[in-house]
Amino acid sequence: MSAASSSSTSTSGTTTPDPTFKTPTIAEARAQARRFRELPNDVLFSLAVSGDYNARKERFIREIMRVDNIDWVSAKIKIETTINAKNDQFAWLVTLPYRVGLTAGVVGAVSAVPLVFHRPTAAWFNENFVHEALPDDGLESLDTVWKVGNWTWGWMEPYLGTASFVLLGLQFARIHMQRLHLQPYTERVLSWRARRLAKTFPQYESRIVMDFSKADPWH
């Protein structure tokens, strides 16, 4: 029987459940887990394997409870203070390439359009950096964005084309690094971070510590 046939619509337009299928009771609804801390260990393990950060954090909390013999609240406080501070050490340094890339990407994306199509911006850029000859009829002849783009394309095409090819080449190299099981920068940094945290807290199960470290945000 299909899912579409598991319920029926009455003449009043309301949907009633098919009596051949079981529906949850109010008691079952009240008993459902609403927080990760309410989940059983086997469910947490499955979620942690799939990479869920909250599941990995909850597993680490329970590992701290087991080893340190403390309650859930105390273990959570330890993770969010001492352990998280240690895991975020050197964050400013290892995330610097991302910040540089973010800045360069935003600046490049925002500036590309006016540098190509906006006459005052293109004229200023040409005067200060390019020093290309002006059109024979003067800048006033560039009375549409298409004419401005045709004039600026001579020096903007190498810049935009080279930037696009560099990004394409880096992405192509990254794909083949992964196929060779070589770690690109992000994976290498996360692995280094995880090993460092596990060595700092050797009393806990290393795999649980490393899983938490890899999923923990950089802040």
Of residues 102, 43, 39, 37, the one with CA closest to residue 72: 37
**What pLDDT does residue 14 have?**
64
- Asked if residues 193 and 86 have their Cβ atoms less than 8 Å apart, the reply is no
- Asked if residues 155 and 130 have their Cβ atoms less than 8 Å apart, the reply is yes
Across 192-203, b (16+ Cβ under 10 Å) vs e yields ebbeebbeebee
**What pLDDT does residue 87 have?**
96
**What pLDDT does residue 12 have?**
52
3-state helix, strand, coil in the chain (%, to 5): 70, 5, 25
Which residues in the chain belong to E strands, given as ranges? Answer: 7-9, 15-17
**What pLDDT does residue 8 have?**
52
Number of residues assigned to the chain: 219
pTM of the model: 0.77
For the four alpha carbons of 137, 138, 141 and 142, in that order, the dihedral sign comes to positive
Which residue numbers in the chain have pLDDT < 70?
A: 1-14
Dig out the tokens for 103 from the structure: 């800045």
**What pLDDT does residue 114 have?**
96
Sorted by where each begins, the domain ranges of the chain are 31-87+197-215, 93-182
Identity of residue 157: E
Backbone angles phi, psi at 8, to 5 degrees: -130, 155
**What pLDDT does residue 131 have?**
93
- Quote the Cα angle for 41-46-52, to 5°: 105
